[in-house]
Amino acid sequence: MTTTSNLSPAEMARYARHLAIPEFGKAAQEKLKAARVLVIGSGGLGSPLLLYLTAAGVGNIGIVDFDIVDESNLQRQVLFTVADVGQSKAETAKKRLLALNPHTNIEVFNTAFTKENAFEIAENYDIIADGTDNFQTRYLTNDVCVLTGKVNVYASIFRFEGQLSVFNYLQEDGERGPNYRDLFPQPPPPGMVPSCAEGGVLGVLPGIIGSLQANEVIKIITRVGAPLSGRLFLFDAASFTTRNLKIRKNRAIKITELIDYDQFCGIIPKKEIIDMVKAISVQELKKWMDAEKDFQLIDVRETYEYDICNLEGELVPLNSILNYKDTIATNKPVVVQCRSGVRSANAIKVLQSQFGFDNLLNLEGGILAWAREIDPSMPTY
């Protein structure tokens, strides 16, 4: 007796190594083809995640990403090449993925994932894979999954360390497993956890963690293996050690609606932060330097950023600025600078509110504006 298959002859040949696994076989491959997975972010984690989901034969994949490809992405975001710099990440990812597997349907959402559009974007997907790098979107993704009954496959990376878990998984007893808020009920204070741009990340780490994230998605779809529900997997690439921590549900936490996630995470819009402090343009700073004006220049970036390019200011990373308050002049102008003007504005805001400084000036546009308007030969990142 013969049975029909949802897989074409070309697909049967393509996925032959999957079909050869006794615990997997044609039934699991057909589940992959019917699956609908939404991936938030196509960068460090999203690149390997999307590549392996596409190669595995997930039939319907959505990509949410409004960013463009930057040269500094290429150290870890393996979906992209030098030729893609300046192009839309989501659209570029779609082209690359369809070239890898034309049997997959790719839908692009070239926009930020926000409380206004999250339900509409997520509506037609069963699993959401979180490849973002900010707490606002992580909490939003989690809450959307809880409110709509979708599984959230979570991962994060920083320097040498990675985290992975499966949230809101429907268990055999009909209960939902722990979600992100059971692990992290509250976000950390703003600025306490640097972004990858500020703190760095080992290039291979997102490849490792993103591949494991794809593995969890595939296990959930096919019901092959035990998903990482109720557990947090921790990986340290430097020491090559792993840990598994248990996560328990906190039934006191109730999610009833989407909220203002910027407010919840203590995030003030960048423009508002910059507008709160006095500023100096790069042209005016250049005049001060040429005239040998008496002022102090403080650079609040990280050491590795300073090593790439600098204006010979005093290096005081933002996370340690309060420890250096006694070294900041009070009897002359002090210019504070960073890469784009946001971290330096934050530093000034903290110093003014806690210690009453009134002589601090933010360098508008930071080192990027200097390279763009004063010294185009300066390397940037």
Among residues 114, 48, 44, the alpha carbon closest in space to that of 74 is found at: 44
Q: Which DSSP string corresponds to 20-84?
A: TSTTTHHHHHHHHHH-EEEEE--STTHHHHHHHHHHHT-SEEEEE---B--GGGGGT-TT--GGG
Q: How far is CA 130 from the centre of its chain?
A: 8
Q: Which of 145, 196, 265, 309 does the annotation list as catalytic?
A: 196
Q: 198 - beta bridge partners?
A: none
Q: Which of 145, 265, 309, 338 does the annotation list as catalytic?
A: 338
145 catalytic? Reply is no
Residue 229: DSSP 8-state: B
Residue partners of 269: CB distance under 8 A and separation at least 6 = 262
Among residues 112, 55, 60, 102, the alpha carbon closest in space to that of 78 is found at: 55
Q: In which residue are the tokens 């203002």 written?
A: 260
196 catalytic? Reply is yes
Q: 164 - beta bridge partners?
A: 155, 233
Q: Is the dihedral of CA 364, 264, 194, 168 positive or negative?
A: negative
Cβ count near 189 (within 10 Å): 9
Tokens linked to 76: 């870890």
Asked whether 315 and 299 are in contact (CB, 8 A), the reply is: yes
Catalytic residues: 196, 338
